[in-house]
């Protein structure tokens, strides 16, 4: 497909000259003669590169406004600003706003073509890098046969058909963002942006700028997540970290479906599907006064909860096989096998699916010969570093052997029962006991009998 250049200039002769030059160079072009035509062309389809005159028919800074509008939709698109009234101040302003190059009229043909060629190379390189960076994560699927994962897959199919707000809960690394992306991919907004605002990573003073955007004193605009996600999805990750004052403004947005940029009196309509997520106990956050209950009820039209990996142990072998296949394909390595799953099944996985994925990636990098002993060593070394073990050998050194053994058996069997979702038959088979013998042992140890 030919690279497409959008030419925006109110001078018909300049538009024709640029069109001829770029056609001779092998590029496809689209034209816009004024500000409103330019907006229509940009919103209809984003070009690969844009060439924009600074001054059109609306104001002295039409070109800068259009530059900001393009950057809101895709910050990587190169924009070349041209001007017949150029000065150093204008050049600096355009470059600060994100222009790829600034060129003064009358322009040299070879210089212009050189700028355009470099801009095309730039966007192609960025797209390739973006594709490589996201290929591994975005190709991942929601893997598992546990009741929890099976239920979530059904929920994803149903939620993709609606536009309702969603609240996703689950521990860090369990797959909350993946769930949101799957809903987006299956929805009728799948060709529109998927924007993430991470509440845990923002400086408290920058929440509102990042969310609403800002109109600066020099006339430039900083677009926020709400405008960047226009027509698509906005995932507010770790939403409980957002300050209460900002929470009240989000509530107004949800109710009124409009907002104002900072330092602006102009209302902007909202067309965004909001998805929120948190790894915290939301009910505790509300009772502690950290999160507005009225906002929660507005955002929690539909709740999706993904359980920690140690509560869906039957998913672990499936995830291992899946990650081995996907990661080895990404690294162009031979697929390997993990013959002994006992270490993986008995581990508590404080980092959840993300930790398991990282472990498989570590094995793929460190083991080049599909050496089962080397693979097991990597697993042992990686999992031994966890500080999340509930059973402490040190705590049991001060008690008699029989009591220490009972403590260990109680902790061990309770962990196994929880991992198998309370299923005694599966637990008995895994630990190597008859079902009836396991019932007697649990009763003797004072462990709840799950039946």
Residue 398 has pLDDT above 80, yes or no: no
Residue 139 has pLDDT above 60, yes or no: no
Residue 394 has pLDDT above 80, yes or no: no
Q: Tell me the three-class secondary structure of 260-310, residue by residue.
A: ECECCCCEEECCCEEEEEECCCHHHHHHCCCCCHHHHHHHCCEEEECCCHH
Residue 387 has pLDDT above 60, yes or no: no
The whole-angstrom separation of Cα 270 and Cα 265 is: 15
In this prediction, what percent of the chain has a pLDDT beyond 90? 44
DSSP characters for 155-193? HHHHHTTS---EEEE--TTSSHHHHHHHHHHHSTTTTS-
Which pLDDT value is given to residue 300?
Answer: 96
Residue 274 has pLDDT above 90, yes or no: yes
DSSP characters for 212-225? HEEE-TTS-EEE-H
Instruction: Write the pLDDT tens digit of every residue in 333-379.
Output: 888 988 878 889 888 899 999 999 999 988 988 876 778 888 888 88
Residue 1 has pLDDT above 60, yes or no: no
Give the confidence band of 32 by pLDDT, cuts at 50, 70, 90. very high
Query: What average pLDDT does the structure give for the chain?
Result: 85
Mean pLDDT of 391-401: 49
Under DSSP, the state recorded for 349 is -
Which candidate, 255, 284, 307, 306, places its Cα nearest to that of 419? Answer: 307
**What are the E-state strand segments in 272-422?**
273-278, 302-305
CB distance 8 to 50 below 8 Å: yes
Residue 58 has pLDDT above 60, yes or no: yes
Residue 391 has pLDDT above 50, yes or no: no
Which pLDDT value is given to residue 170?
Answer: 96
Mean pLDDT of 36-43: 90
The SS3 of residue 7 is: strand
User: Tokens 């009728």 correspond to what residue?
Assistant: 188
Structural domains of the chain sorted by starting position, each given as residue range(s) with its CATH number in brackets: 4-134 (3.40.50.2300), 147-307 (3.40.50.300), 310-384 (1.10.8.60), 394-445 (1.10.10.60)
The whole-angstrom separation of Cα 87 and Cα 90 is: 5
**Most confident range, picked from 191-195, 203-207, 250-254:** 250-254
Mean pLDDT of 146-167: 95
Q: Which position has the higher pLDDT, 287 or 374? A: 287
* Residue 167 φ then ψ, to 5°: -120, 115
Which pLDDT value is given to residue 303?
Answer: 97
Stretch among 69-83, 88-102, 292-306 having the lowest mean pLDDT = 88-102
The whole-angstrom separation of Cα 185 and Cα 327 is: 22
422: alpha, beta or left? (left if phi > 0; alpha if psi -120 to 50): left
Q: Which position has the higher pLDDT, 287 or 46? A: 287
Residue 178 has pLDDT above 90, yes or no: yes
The whole-angstrom separation of Cα 131 and Cα 198 is: 22
CB distance 43 to 192 below 8 Å: no
Residue 65 has pLDDT above 70, yes or no: yes
Which pLDDT value is given to residue 133?
Answer: 47
Give the confidence band of 187 by pLDDT, cuts at 50, 70, 90. very high
Mean pLDDT of 403-410: 74
Give the confidence band of 13 by pLDDT, cuts at 50, 70, 90. very high
């Amino acid at each position: 497909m030919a690279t497409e250049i959008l030419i925006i200039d109110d001078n018909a002769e300049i538009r024709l000259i640029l069109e001829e030059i770029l056609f001779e160079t092998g590029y496809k072009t689209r034209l816009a003669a004024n500000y409103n035509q330019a907006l229509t062309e940009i919103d209809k389809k984003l070009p690969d590169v844009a060439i924009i005159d600074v001054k059109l028919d609306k104001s002295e800074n039409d070109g800068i406004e259009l530059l900001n509008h393009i950057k809101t939709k895709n910050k990587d698109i190169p924009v070349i600003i041209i001007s017949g009234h150029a000065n150093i101040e204008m050049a600096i302003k355009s470059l600060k706003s994100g222009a790829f190059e600034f060129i003064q009229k009358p322009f040299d043909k070879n210089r212009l073509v050189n700028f355009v060629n470099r801009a095309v190379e730039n966007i192609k390189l960025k797209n390739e890098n973006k594709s490589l960076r996201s290929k591994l994560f975005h190709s991942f699927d929601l893997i598992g046969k546990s009741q929890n994962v099976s239920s979530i897959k059904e929920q994803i199919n149903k939620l993709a058909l609606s536009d309702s707000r969603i609240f996703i809960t689950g521990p860090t690394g369990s797959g909350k963002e993946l769930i949101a992306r799957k809903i987006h991919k299956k929805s009728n907004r799948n060709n529109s942006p998927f924007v993430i605002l991470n509440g845990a990573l923002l400086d408290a003073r920058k929440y509102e700028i990042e969310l609403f955007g800002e109109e600066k004193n020099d006339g430039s605009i900083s677009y926020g997540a709400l405008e960047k996600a226009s027509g698509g999805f906005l995932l507010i990750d770790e939403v409980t970290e957002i300050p209460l004052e900002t929470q009240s403004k989000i509530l107004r947005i949800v109710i009124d479906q409009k907002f104002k940029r900072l330092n602006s009196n102009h209302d902007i309509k909202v067309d965004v599907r909001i998805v929120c997520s948190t790894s915290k106990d939301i009910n505790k956050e509300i009772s502690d006064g950290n999160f507005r209950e009225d906002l929660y009820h507005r955002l929690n039209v539909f709740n999706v909860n993904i359980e920690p990996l140690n509560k869906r142990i039957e998913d672990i072998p499936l995830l291992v096989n899946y990650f081995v296949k996907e990661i080895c394909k990404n690294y162009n390595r031979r697929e390997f096998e993990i013959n002994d799953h006992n270490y993986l099944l008995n581990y508590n996985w404080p980092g959840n699916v993300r930790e398991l994925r990282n472990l498989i990636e570590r094995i793929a990098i460190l083991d080049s010969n599909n050496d089962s002993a080397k693979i097991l060593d990597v697993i042992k070394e990686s999992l031994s570093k966890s500080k999340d073990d509930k059973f402490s050998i040190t705590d049991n050194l001060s008690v008699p052997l029989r009591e220490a053994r009972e403590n260990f058996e109680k902790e061990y069997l309770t962990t196994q029962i929880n991992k198998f979702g309370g299923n005694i038959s599966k637990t008995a088979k895994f630990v190597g006991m008859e079902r009836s013998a396991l019932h007697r042992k649990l009763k003797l140890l004072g462990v709840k009998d799950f039946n």
